[in-house]
């Protein structure tokens, strides 16, 4: 079998694994997203819910435990298996959902949300997806999972007001728990078991790479960015639903704002993403999106009295938000060292959840003690600092990541092959990891000669086969 990238489509098993894992991720994220537009209304009727600090902590508490446990849960899946960790995480998420559903005060809701976040299975799901897909199709599998998250985010915000009217927030929490239990069945009955489970540098965090990733100034800027993005998002969910109600819109009609805003915001960002990638203008698009996000947030503060004004401000905000949410992982991939991509993504993802907690908790505190103006000032400060950090960052190279399967070899030969690959035209970085049987390359968007890579790997495979005979 050739060591080069295959032109075959994803196999039935790979599609089954990808769709199954995407649905699990989607069911779980639906449960986290769906309460965002309605939780502020529910909290008003809970003992302790008149304290905005506690409301903010309840809204974002899942992010704290998620941020702390996500990488360790991924490491645990390397030791005891992917599926056991996913089962345990989904069970925790279900328990937390039922605790929140039965809560009779804000403190029990906080406790339930903490348990929900402890079911931190994101890293284990990504590792299982890597186990079940070939190198040439792994990016496609991750893209499907990513698109599922985006679609679920839009769907959950659109249906939340109707669900709140039909079953209330306790019913939504209970439904979330049931969906988590259903996800366990999907993992058991639908997602294949991997024949071999091994560490994957492109999807998992490594202790060896952690220090270098945390010291990388460019990655730190991006990590601050995802922190600020989700902190702002969660802080605003404490205020936007109340703003729409005070402007005269019934709670059950809020979907009429969220649905068109989210739909058109996603449509608007597609040309910008294509332009940034194709024209190697990703930094310019990225910085412009942060400026637009800041404008959208300021417009929200200025248009609190009108439904139309709030809708326009939300359109600007979510167009920028969706563009940044899509651009940040691409920038991480371009900037991270070729052998530390999984570690960089793991730190980035943990920082994202930490931002969700901090934004909701600090936003609630500021609303409690300084009113709405304090919350808007906090969000504006976060985004203004992000704009400065992004504006002064180095423009990322116009590169993309490639993966190739290689034959088993010793460490010396893998080092030699890494050097040979790095010397080929259009290859910026190359790392062959013998234990993973994978060659990781970072290559130019233009000028990369893939045929030379294929030929070199085929020659090496032929040499290995000849030697073994």
Please list, in sequence order, all residues whose beta carbon lies within 8 angstroms of the beta carbon of residue 47, skipping any fewer than 6 positions away: 104, 105, 106
Window from 8-22, 63-77, 344-358, 373-387 with minimum mean pLDDT: 8-22
pLDDT above 80 for 49: yes
Report the greatest alpha carbon distance in the chain. Answer: 80
Window from 22-26, 125-129, 210-214, 397-401 with minimum mean pLDDT: 397-401
pLDDT above 50 for 6: no
Residue with more model confidence, 117 or 282? 117
Per-residue pLDDT, averaged over 63-87, amounts to 93
pLDDT of residue 8: 64
Residue 242 pLDDT level (bands cut at 50, 70, 90): very high
Parallel, antiparallel or unpaired: strands 438-444 and 399-405? antiparallel
Domains of the chain plus CATH, in order, are: 9-204 (1.20.1250.20), 214-396 (1.20.1250.20), 400-468 (3.30.70.100)
DSSP 249: -
Using alpha carbons, list the distances in angstroms from residue 329 to 2, 67, 333: 30, 17, 6
pLDDT above 80 for 331: yes
Exposure on the CB side of residue 255, measured as CA atoms within 13 A: 14
Give the predicted TM-score (pTM) of the model. 0.91
pLDDT of residue 469: 44
pLDDT above 50 for 141: yes
Residue 463 pLDDT level (bands cut at 50, 70, 90): low
pLDDT, tens only, 396-416: 888 888 888 888 788 888 888
Highest mean pLDDT among 122-136, 231-245, 333-347: 231-245
pLDDT above 60 for 2: no
């Amino acid at each position: 079998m050739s060591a080069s990238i295959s032109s075959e489509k994803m196999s039935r098993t790979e599609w089954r694994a990808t769709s199954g894992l995407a649905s699990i991720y989607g069911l779980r994220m639906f449960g986290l997203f769906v309460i965002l537009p309605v939780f502020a209304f529910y909290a008003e009727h809970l003992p302790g819910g008149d304290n905005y600090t506690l409301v903010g902590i309840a809204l974002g508490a899942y992010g704290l435990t998620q941020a702390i446990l996500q990488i360790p849960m991924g490491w645990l899946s390397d030791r005891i298996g992917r599926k056991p960790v996913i089962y345990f995480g989904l069970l925790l998420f279900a328990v937390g959902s039922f605790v929140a559903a039965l809560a009779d005060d804000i403190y029990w809701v906080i406790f339930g949300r903490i348990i929900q976040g402890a079911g931190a299975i994101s890293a284990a799901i990504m590792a299982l997806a890597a186990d079940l897909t070939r190198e040439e199709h792994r990016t496609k599998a991750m893209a499907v999972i990513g698109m599922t998250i985006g679609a679920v985010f839009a769907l959950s915000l659109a249906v939340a007001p109707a669900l709140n009217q039909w079953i209330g927030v306790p019913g939504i929490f209970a439904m979330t728990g049931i969906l988590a239990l259903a996800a366990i069945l999907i993992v058991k009955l639908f997602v294949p078991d991997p024949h071999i489970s091994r560490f994957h540098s492109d999807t998992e965090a490594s202790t060896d790479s952690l220090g270098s990733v945390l010291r990388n100034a460019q990655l730190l800027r991006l990590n601050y960015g995802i922190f600020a993005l989700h902190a702002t998002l969660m802080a605003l969910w404490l205020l936007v639903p109340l703003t729409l109600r005070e402007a005269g819109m019934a709670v059950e009609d809020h979907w009429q704002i969220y649905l068109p805003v989210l739909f058109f915001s996603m449509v608007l960002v597609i040309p910008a993403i294509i332009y940034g990638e194709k024209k190697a203008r990703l930094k310019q698009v990225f910085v412009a999106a942060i400026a637009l996000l800041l404008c959208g947030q300021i417009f929200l503060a200025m248009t609190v009295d009108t439904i139309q004004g709030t809708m326009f401000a939300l359109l600007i905000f979510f167009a920028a938000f969706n563009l940044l949410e899509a651009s940040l992982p691409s920038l991480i991939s371009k900037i991270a060292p070729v052998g530390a991509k999984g570690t960089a993504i793991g730190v980035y993802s943990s920082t994202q959840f930490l931002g969700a907690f901090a934004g909701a908790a600090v936003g609630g505190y500021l609303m409690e003690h300084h009113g709405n103006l304090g919350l808007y000032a906090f969000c504006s400060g976060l985004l203004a600092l992000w704009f400065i950090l992004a504006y002064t960052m180095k423009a990322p190279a116009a590169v993309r990541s490639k993966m190739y399967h290689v034959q088993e070899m010793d460490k010396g030969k893998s080092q030699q092959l890494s050097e040979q690959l790095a010397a080929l035209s259009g290859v910026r970085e190359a790392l062959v990891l013998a234990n993973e049987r994978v060659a990781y390359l970072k290559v130019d968007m233009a000028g990369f000669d893939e045929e030379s890579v294929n030929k070199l790997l085929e020659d090496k495979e032929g040499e290995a086969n000849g030697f073994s005979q």
